[in-house]
Amino acid sequence: MTTMTEASVREFKMPDVGEGLTEAEILKWYVQPGDTVTDGQVVCEVETAKAAVELPIPYDGVVRELHFPEGTTVDVGTAIIAVDVTGGTAAAAPAPVAEPQAPKEEPKAEASGRQPVLVGYGVAASSTKRRPRKGAEAPRQDAPAAAQALQSELNGHGPAVVEKPRPLAKPPVRKLAKDLGVDLATVTPTGPDGIITREDVHAAAAPQPTPVPEPVPQTAPVAAPAPVATYDTARETRIPVKGVRKATAAAMVGSAFTAPHVTEFVTVDVTRTMKLVEELKEDKEFAGLRVNPLLLIAKALLVAIRRNPDINASWDEANQEIVLKHYVNLGIAAATPRGLIVPNIKDAHTKTLPQLAQALGELVATAREGRTSPAAMRGGTITITNVGVFGVDTGTPILNPGESAILAIGAIKLQPWVHKGKVKPRQVTTLALSFDHRLVDGELGSKGLADVAAILEQPKRLITWT
């Protein structure tokens, strides 16, 4: 009867919802023990290092147990929920639920079982080694000849040696003691089995440094972690770094210290582009679509890449090759409550302006809802980050790992500008392009950035350059 019950319970394990990810955090359970579930029903939401993902159960049944509470980070392959596929009630849950825990306990028991064996070996080795040494040394020290020989080496302190013939030291150490004028009988040995070492002799020759700055006062700095445990809880908050934010931090550090970054800037009059944005908003081809400056800047970058294709590449460290991309997966950096993510528009170079507007709108909406899938963040080739929405003039963006360049857009605002020989208020912004100098040299980077600026200054180039 027990076998049948166990066979009826299926354990759903944490899947690898990303590319080779090893763990995920359970954000929310949508079911509880006793609930009926069907094949394909979403039972929980988890967050990986790349995105938040909903997990569907692959079979029908009744939930027996949730193995982990919300907020727990679980390794891929670990059972997270038990389901009775026969449709039984949750009352009998305790028996099958305990099953997945048994294998986890066995390794710990074996490890703890081996530990005494290892410790036993250590004690036996030390004990075995110690006894023969004492037995071997004792006859030499009890012999009058040995005492007399030792007496002749120690600066005339014969009587002390005769009365206390115990110091054990190797010939080089004895010579050092003689040279330094140190009586071995007065030295405290620290070597194994009571042997006096060179360090012991030096310590005896210069006793001041030893007692005063001994390890005792130096242990005070080691106690520095104490404030960590007693930080001001009323005025400080500690937030564990995990999930998307942890992955982003690691990726940015890796990118910053792997790819040699170069950043160039250009300030440009985008008044005509802003006028075109307003005109497109009234165009029926863009009905229901979001039209903004980012749309035209993205299109300008795509045209610039077409004119300077070598800027769209990646560096293959393993093979020491530059990989030119004949497609553009355009990444758009998006700030979310869980951290910075960079989903990308696949094959953005093939899209018309209305198609690009639709793709941008969907990408932004999905990111804000926290529903960006890992697949949407893979395979990017070049990125745009819009720091201007925060009122920032410009910045020096860090490359998205594996990409060759990233374009930062500054705030667009009225500024005095020389236009047709007169100073007039114009819509002006500053663009910053960071690129990997292993892939993109100064000339190529400059041409690419200059083309983007030229298109934004004269948007009609979107037609003449394509």
Which residue range forms the structural domain that includes residue 313? Answer: 244-464
CB neighbour list of residue 447: distance below 8 Å, 6 or more residues apart: 307, 308
Cα–Cα distance, 268 to 249 (Å, whole number)? 32
Residue 190 counted as domain residue: no
Q: What one-character DSSP code corresponds to residue 78?
A: -
Cα–Cα distance, 109 to 62 (Å, whole number)? 33
Of 80, 99, 118, which residue is a domain's last? 99
437 tagged catalytic: yes
Cα distances (angstroms) measured from residue 159 to each of 163, 165, 347: 6, 10, 95
Residue 111 counted as domain residue: no
pLDDT at 228 over 70: no
CB neighbour list of residue 4: distance below 8 Å, 6 or more residues apart: none
Band of the pLDDT at 149, cuts 50, 70, 90? very low
Residue 257 counted as domain residue: yes
For the record, the structure tokens of 393 come out as 């003039």
Looking at the structure of the chain, the number of domains it has is: 2
- Residue 6, classified by CB atoms within 10 Å of its CB into exposed (0-12), middle (13-18) or buried (19+), is exposed
Band of the pLDDT at 257, cuts 50, 70, 90? low
pLDDT digits (tens, 9 = 90+) for 189-223: 888 778 888 888 877 776 554 444 555 555 555 55
pLDDT at 33 over 90: yes
Residue 448 counted as domain residue: yes
Of 58, 78, 99, which residue is a domain's last? 99
pLDDT of residue 215: 54
Cα–Cα distance, 86 to 62 (Å, whole number)? 8
pLDDT of residue 245: 65
pLDDT at 80 over 60: yes
pLDDT digits (tens, 9 = 90+) for 281-323: 999 999 999 999 999 999 999 999 999 999 999 988 888 899 9
Cα distances (angstroms) measured from residue 12 to each of 9, 76, 119: 10, 11, 40
Q: Considering the chain, what is the average pLDDT of its residues?
A: 78
Task: Select the more confidently predicted residue: 250 or 130.
Answer: 250
Cβ–Cβ under 8 Å, residues 40 and 56? yes
Residue 66 counted as domain residue: yes
Residue 391 counted as domain residue: yes
In 3-state terms, what secondary structure has residue 445? helix
Q: Which H or E element spans position 196?
A: strand 195-196
pLDDT of residue 23: 83
Instruction: Write the CATH number for 56.
Output: 2.40.50.100
Cα distances (angstroms) measured from residue 183 to each of 149, 159, 407: 14, 12, 75
Of 76, 99, 122, which residue is a domain's last? 99
Residue type at 233? T
Instruction: Write the CATH number for 449.
Output: 3.30.559.10
Residue 21 counted as domain residue: yes
Residues in a beta bridge with 428: 269, 413
Whether pTM > 0.75 for this model: the answer is: no
Residue 384 counted as domain residue: yes
